[in-house]
Structure 1
Amino acid sequence: MPYADVGDDISLFYTDDGGGDGPPLLLVHGWGTDSHQWSWHIDALVAAGRRVIAADLRGHGYSSVPETGNTPRMMAEDLSVLLDRLGVAQVVAVGHSMGGQVASILAVEHPDRVRALVALDPGYGMTADIAQGFPTMIEGLRGEHPHAAAEAIDEWCTNAATPAVIRRWHKRRLHGMPPHVLVQAFEAMFTAPDAIGVRPASDDYLARRRCPVLSIWADPRRANWEAGLLKVPKSKVVCWEGSSHRLHEERPAEFVQLVGGWLRSLRV
C-alpha cells in the first residue's frame, strides 16, 4: 500500500481504488481511528464507478506521528499536499466526525480543491452545554489513564443501534492511539483559540464554504442548525434519527446509496 511524503517529515498512508471521470471521493476518518473506518464502504463506492482515496491523517493509523501539530488545520493541509502528489485537482470530500471538520477546513482554505462536501455527524456545531464538559475531558486525556478517558468520551458515540463489532473495533483503535495525538486533536477541535467545533465559531467558519454540502446527522437539533447555514444550491441536510454517531457504519448501504444519488443530482 502506498505512502506519500507531504513535507516536514510527515508521510501519509493512503489507498487509491477504482476510477471514473468525475472528481475522486476523498474519505476522511474521525478522531482516534483511521482509514480502515471506510472498509464498510470502499468496495461499494468503487462498484458504483467512483475513484476512492482514503488516507490515514497525521498521528493516526499507519501515517507519521509528529510530536506537535496534530490538528485539523494541519491535517487539511496534509490532504491538500497529498492531492498534489496524486495529481488530483478536485475531490468530493467525505468526512466523519473530526473528519467532517477537516474536510470543511479543506473546503474553506482550498475552495478550488473541493467540488462538493459530505459531512457525517461532523465534529462541529457543539452547543455551550456540551462544550462545558470539554475541559474535564481534556484533563482526563492528559492524565495517567488517557486511553480510559478516550474510551469514556467515545461512549457517547454509540447507542442501541450500534453493533457490538463496531463498538469493539473503535475501542481497539482508540487504545492503539498515541495519547498526545488524542489530546492535541481534541483541543484543536474544540478549545483552542482558532477551534471551529463550538458555536458561534462554527457558524462563522462554516458559512465560508462555497461548495454544495450534504450533511447527515443523527441529532435533529444539530441537523436543523446546519440547515440554516447552507446557502449553496443543492446543499442538503438529512437526519437519521435513532442512529448513533457511527451512523454510516451502522447503515453502510444506505449511506452509499444516499451519497451516490446526491452526487448524481449535482452531475458529479
Structure 2
Amino acid sequence: MSYATVDDLRMYYEEHGTAEGRPLVLLHGALSAIGTSFGALLPLLARTRRVVAVEFQAHGRTADADRPLTYERFAADVVGLLDHLGVDVADVLGWSMGAGVALRLGTDHPDRVGRLVLASGSFDESGLHPGLLDGIQDLRPEHLRGSQFHEEYLRTAPDPAGWANLVGKVKRLDADPPRWSADQIRALAAPTMVVLADSDIVVPEHAVRMFRLLGGGVAGDLVGLPRCRLAVLPGTTHTSLPQRAEWLAPMVDEFLDA
C-alpha cells in the first residue's frame, strides 16, 4: 500500500502478487474503491501475476483535487502512476466507470496498454438502458447513506466529510458520458475482452455490437478465433458482477495469458 505523486494528486495504490511478468492494473467503479470493486477478485488474480489496484481522485484513500472528474484525467493519472512504477506496458481491467477509463487508455495511450478487460462498460450513451440516467441529477448524498460504497468511503477516505462533494462530482461526470465512435473501437490495438452481466445497466446488444466492432462474432472453426472475447455472466447484475470472482478469475487469467 503506497502513494504516488501524479501532478497535483497524491494517488493511492496497492501492489499484490508476484513481481513476474506484465502487471495487471485494476480500475474501480464510480463512488467505489478497491475493496467494493475488487475485494473478491483481486486475491484470485494475484495468485499468478502482479496486480496494481488504484484509487482515483476523490475515491477511497486518494484525496480530491481542485479539478473536475473526467475520464481523460483519470486515464492520464493512471499513465502517471505507471511512470512512477517504471512500468512501460500494463494489462488493464476496469469495471463500470473503470471500464470507461480502461477504454480511454486503450484509445488515447495505446502504447501503454497490453490487453484490456472491459467489464460493464459502454462506448456511448446508447449502451445504457433507456432512461437509466434520467434521475441522476436528483441523487443526493443521503440516498446512499449506509450503502457499501458509503461505508467504504467512511472507512478509507482522508476526509470522511467529503462524501457529498464526491457524489456531486460523479453526478457531473455522469451528465456527460464518454463517447467513442465505431471507427475508434475498430481501431483499438489492444486485444480486448468484453464482460457483461446478463442484467447489467448496459444492454446486451451494445456489448455484442462492441464485440463485433472489435472483430468478434466470426465462425471461429473456419477462420480462427479473433483477438477479442465476449463473456456474459448469467443471473448477475451490474453491482454483483465483480463478486462473481470464481467465474471471472479463470476467464481473465486465460485471456491475459493467451
- TM-score, normalisation: structure 2: 0.81
Match of 1:179 among 164, 168, 171: 164
Closer/same/farther in 2, CA of residues 249 and 129 from structure 1, 3 Å limit: closer
Paired-residue identity, %:
25
Return the letter of the residue paired with 2:87: V
Match of 2:231 among 226, 234, 238: 238
Match of 2:249 among 251, 256, 264: 256
- 2:27 is aligned with 1:28: yes
RMSD of Structure 2 on Structure 1 (CA): 2.6
Q: Give me the whole-angstrom Cα distance separating, in 2, the residues matched to 1:134 and 1:247.
A: 19
Q: Give me the whole-angstrom Cα distance separating, in 1, the residues matched to 2:34 and 2:95.
A: 11
- 2:188 is aligned with 1:209: yes
Q: Give me the whole-angstrom Cα distance separating, in 2, the residues matched to 1:183 and 1:217.
A: 27
Give the 5 Å matches for 1:44-193.
44-47=44-47, 49-127=48-126, 130=129, 132-138=131-137, 140-141=138-139, 145-148=140-143, 168-170=147-149, 172-173=151-152, 178-188=163-173, 190-192=174-176
- TM-score, normalisation: structure 1: 0.78
Return the letter of the residue paired with 2:172: E
- Asked if the contact 1:243/1:250 (under 8 Å) is kept, the reply is no
Corresponding residue for 2:213?
Answer: 229
- Asked if the contact 1:91/1:114 (under 8 Å) is kept, the reply is yes
Corresponding residue for 1:38?
Answer: 38
- Asked if the contact 2:150/2:163 (under 8 Å) is kept, the reply is no
Structure with greater strand share of residues: 2
SS class of match (1:13): strand
Residue segments in structure 1 that go unaligned for 5+ positions in a row: 152-166
Q: Offset at 1:131?
A: 5.5
Q: Offset at 1:55?
A: 0.7
Closer/same/farther in 2, CA of residues 207 and 225 from structure 1, 3 Å limit: same
Cα distance per residue 1:222-264 (max 9 Å; x no partner): 3222212213841111111321113443311111111011122
Q: Give me the whole-angstrom Cα distance separating, in 2, the residues matched to 1:237 and 1:45.
A: 19
Aligned length: 237
Residue segments in structure 2 that go unaligned for 5+ positions in a row: 155-159, 199-203, 217-225
Q: Give me the whole-angstrom Cα distance separating, in 2, the residues matched to 1:179 and 1:131.
A: 27
Q: Give me the whole-angstrom Cα distance separating, in 2, the residues matched to 1:222 and 1:171.
A: 30
Q: Give me the whole-angstrom Cα distance separating, in 1, the residues matched to 2:116 and 2:132.
A: 29
